[in-house]
Amino acid sequence: MLVLLHLFALFLLVTLGFYVFVANPRNRAHQTFAAFIAFLAIWITKDLIFWNFYPVDRASGWWVAASFVIALLMQFAMVVFAWVFPENARTPRQRAAILFAPAIFLVPAAAFGLLWHRAGFDDGRFVIDLSPLAYAFVIYVYFVYFYGAAVLFGKYRMYRGTQSGQQVGAIIWGLAITGVLKTLANIVLPYFGYYGLLPLSALFVLPGVLIFAYAMLNFRLFSLQSALTQFRLFPITYKVALSIASVAIISFVLFQIPIAWWAFRNGMDAEAWRRYLVFSVISALIPNLLLVLLILRTISRPLQRITLAAVEVTKGSYGTEVDMRRTNDEIGLLADSFNEMSRKMAADIEQLRHLNAQLIRTEKLAAMGTLSAGVAHEVNNPLASISSLIQMMQAKDDLPDDAREKLLLIAAQIKRITQVTADMTNFARARPAARSAVDVSKVVSSALRLASFDESFKKLTVETDLDDDLPAIHADADQIQQVALNLLLNARDAMPDGGTLVVRVSADGGDIVVKIADTGKGIEAGTAEQIFDPFYTTKPAGTGTGLGLAVCYGIVTAHGGRIEVMENQPTGTIFTVTLPVNAEN
């Protein structure tokens, strides 16, 4: 029964220490608590061996010496914990050197047996006769204990009313419970000649240790929320530890027990030991290989895949993702984060490319605006001369009526050319446009009438669907007409041998939508994004300047709208111009 209690306490301590340490391995308080648990585990192992397997006088000496030394080390760990918790502060080295200095003499005294005159068993009862130096040792241990308690109490007063204060207060209670129980089992009762609780003294520390851990982890050690959190993210250290423990237990049951039974079934002679050692070494290879396989599968292979994916990203393969089974540990979280980062990087780079294309287009439009000023100046000068000559001719009284009508038509076209050149100069910069309430259907209908004078346009079958009951938009009628006329003439050029042209004007929510669809040769997918760039054209050399759609783009965007192009089915192109009704810019 005592063996089972010791084994249970040892398993509980190791599990608890590992749990607390892994929760925050870089925290000094967690590291110190793990050291305290390690010393306590050594204490229980010492009791397990001594009280269950070696109840003889020759083992009593080392048990007493180990008890003194481990008790002192446990107090040292407790004091260091009091220094660093809850601030995660550094250990004051000078203060620690002064406080721990007596251990330089007391530990060797315990090792050489100077703390007792006799330790052993009388009639099956364990007895010990301590020397005066042992009492000095015990007084020093309790001095360190009360010093650590005083440090914690000072921090409790400092943090009273806070979460940290509650944690320190709970730890002080755990420390008090442990001190009382240990003093009763190790000091008070043995002083009166009762040593019956010595084998169980290590178990009396467990309540205090549990309170310690419970307080350190913000009172969530046994809460359902903490358990679920650990289940959602199962750390890789836990997996490795469980793998090692599982392999060790399974290999012990499957290999070590049968090998021990087979080797020692006829006695523990030299041949039996030889058989046991040889086959134990051989059987150890299997679990070791299994451990290597588990570690490779858990850590090495996923990290290799993440590394290869990272290398691909550095080579420019943005959007590369790690193809691996989802796991609820740090590697799984790293893989998911890497995939998300790679996807966002690919999306951001694509967005940057789109923005760069827009910047290039904007720069081209700005360059065109600068160029338009020079072109307009060169065109307007000859037009002014022509206009003056026309006015002189119109001033003659004997001018025939048909000639006068033609001169009026020429003057009107010169005025239109002058307006177009002015628009070319001003479309790329903000200017107060001559905007008013415009009926888009009427403007498109006017553009259709102008286009119908063209001989090539007469070859087309024109279908119109112009809604006459549309709200007016705030726009420049001449500019909107120019957009419609450019799109109609482009559709004509796309159908040199004739075709069907569909023109629709409709309302869509708060927008007026103009759609012009042709059945021509269409626009290739690779050029669809470039057709609004200045000087870009798909027409043969000498038949297009590449300015029409750029001008349309500038006019539409200046009105707060958008112009889009898409493929018509089964063949041809659809241009869609969307203009907001309520735009006042």
Q: What is the CATH number of the domain that holds 30?
A: 1.20.1070.10
> Of 60-74, 173-187, 447-461, 500-514, which range is least confident?
447-461
> Of 7-11, 241-245, 462-466, 499-503, which range is least confident?
241-245
> Quick one: 149 and 293 in the same domain?
no
User: What pLDDT is stored for residue 128 in this prediction?
Assistant: 80
Cα 205 to Cα 214: distance, rounded to the nearest angstrom: 14
Cα 67 to Cα 130: distance, rounded to the nearest angstrom: 13
Cα 245 to Cα 67: distance, rounded to the nearest angstrom: 28
Residues 417-444 have a mean pLDDT of 69
In a domain, 322, yes or no: no
Residues 379-405 have a mean pLDDT of 80
Cα 45 to Cα 183: distance, rounded to the nearest angstrom: 20
User: What pLDDT is stored for residue 26 in this prediction?
Assistant: 79
Where is mean pLDDT largest: 122-126, 339-343, 413-417?
A: 339-343
User: What pLDDT is stored for residue 228 in this prediction?
Assistant: 41
The answer to whether residue 428 scores a pLDDT higher than 50 is no
Which of helix, strand or coil describes residue 522?
Answer: coil
In a domain, 99, yes or no: yes
> Of 221-225, 279-283, 466-470, which range is least confident?
221-225
> Quick one: 417 and 444 in the same domain?
no
Q: Helices 103-111 and 57-84, interaxial angle, to 10°?
A: 160
**pTM of the complete model:** 0.51
In a domain, 327, yes or no: no
Share of the chain above pLDDT 90, in %: 12
In a domain, 548, yes or no: yes
Q: ∠ at Cα 575 (574, 578), nearest 5°?
A: 130
> Quick one: 447 and 393 in the same domain?
no
User: How many CB atoms lie under 10 A from the CB of residue 179?
Assistant: 17
> Of 304-313, 337-346, 365-374, which range is least confident?
365-374
> Quick one: 216 and 249 in the same domain?
no
φ and ψ at residue 462, rounded to 5 degrees: -100, 125
Among residues 231, 254, 284, the one where a domain terminates is 231
Residues contacting 153, CB < 8 A, separation 6+: 172
Per residue in 177-195, pLDDT (tens digit) is 888 888 888 788 877 777 7
Q: Which residue has the higher pLDDT, 458 or 517?
A: 517
> Quick one: 152 and 213 in the same domain?
yes
> Of 152-161, 316-325, 450-459, 534-543, which range is least confident?
534-543
Residue owning tokens 């691996």: 324
Residue 517, strand partner residues: 502, 574
> Quick one: 122 and 179 in the same domain?
yes
Which of helix, strand or coil describes residue 129?
Answer: strand
Question: What is the residue type of 69?
Answer: V
> Quick one: 63 and 168 in the same domain?
yes
The answer to whether residue 544 scores a pLDDT higher than 70 is no
Cα 376 to Cα 425: distance, rounded to the nearest angstrom: 7
Among residues 399, 414, 431, the one where a domain terminates is 431
Residues 283-309 have a mean pLDDT of 76
Q: 76: pLDDT confidence band, cut at 50, 70 and 90?
A: very high
In a domain, 330, yes or no: no
Give, for 465, the enclosing helix (H) or strand (E): strand 461-466
The answer to whether residue 543 scores a pLDDT higher than 70 is no
> Quick one: 539 and 403 in the same domain?
no
Per-residue buried b or exposed e for 503-525, using 16+ beta carbons within 10 Å of the residue's own CB: bbbeeeeebbbbbbbbbbebbee
In a domain, 126, yes or no: yes
> Quick one: 309 and 418 in the same domain?
no
Q: Compute the residue count for the chain.
A: 585
Which of helix, strand or coil describes residue 12?
Answer: helix
Strand 500-508 relative to strand 461-466: parallel, antiparallel, unpaired?
Answer: parallel
Whole-angstrom CA distances from 72 to 84, 137, 422 are: 19, 9, 96
In a domain, 34, yes or no: yes
Cα 16 to Cα 212: distance, rounded to the nearest angstrom: 10
Share of the chain above pLDDT 70, in %: 84
User: What pLDDT is stored for residue 353 in this prediction?
Assistant: 81
Please list the alpha-helical segments (H only) found in 24-87: 28-53, 57-84
What is the average pLDDT score of the chain? 80
Residues 276-292 have a mean pLDDT of 77
> Quick one: 269 and 408 in the same domain?
no
> Quick one: 283 and 345 in the same domain?
no
Which of helix, strand or coil describes residue 319?
Answer: coil
What's the burial of 371, exposed, middle or buried (CB within 10 Å: 0-12/13-18/19+)?
middle
Contact 574, 515 (CB under 8 A): yes
Per residue in 120-148, pLDDT (tens digit) is 777 767 778 889 999 999 999 999 999 99
Among residues 282, 317, 352, the one where a domain terminates is 317
Domain count, the chain: 4
Q: 197: pLDDT confidence band, cut at 50, 70 and 90?
A: confident
Q: Which residue has the higher pLDDT, 228 or 581?
A: 581
Contact 36, 74 (CB under 8 A): yes
CATH number of the domain at 574, please.
3.30.565.10
In a domain, 326, yes or no: no
> Of 41-55, 415-429, 532-546, which range is least confident?
532-546
Residue 580, strand partner residues: 511
Which of helix, strand or coil describes residue 409?
Answer: helix
Q: 514: pLDDT confidence band, cut at 50, 70 and 90?
A: very high
Q: Which residue has the higher pLDDT, 85 or 526?
A: 85
Contact 70, 42 (CB under 8 A): yes
User: How many CB atoms lie under 10 A from the CB of residue 502?
Assistant: 18
Residues 202-217 have a mean pLDDT of 81
- Tokens found for residue 436: 């008013």
User: What pLDDT is stored for residue 146 in this prediction?
Assistant: 94
Strand 473-475 relative to strand 500-508: parallel, antiparallel, unpaired?
Answer: unpaired
Q: Which residue has the higher pLDDT, 512 or 326?
A: 512
Domain extent at residue 225: 2-231
CATH number of the domain at 362, please.
1.10.287.130
> Quick one: 91 and 204 in the same domain?
yes
User: How many CB atoms lie under 10 A from the CB of residue 130?
Assistant: 18
The answer to whether residue 51 scores a pLDDT higher than 80 is no
Residues contacting 399, CB < 8 A, separation 6+: 393, 407
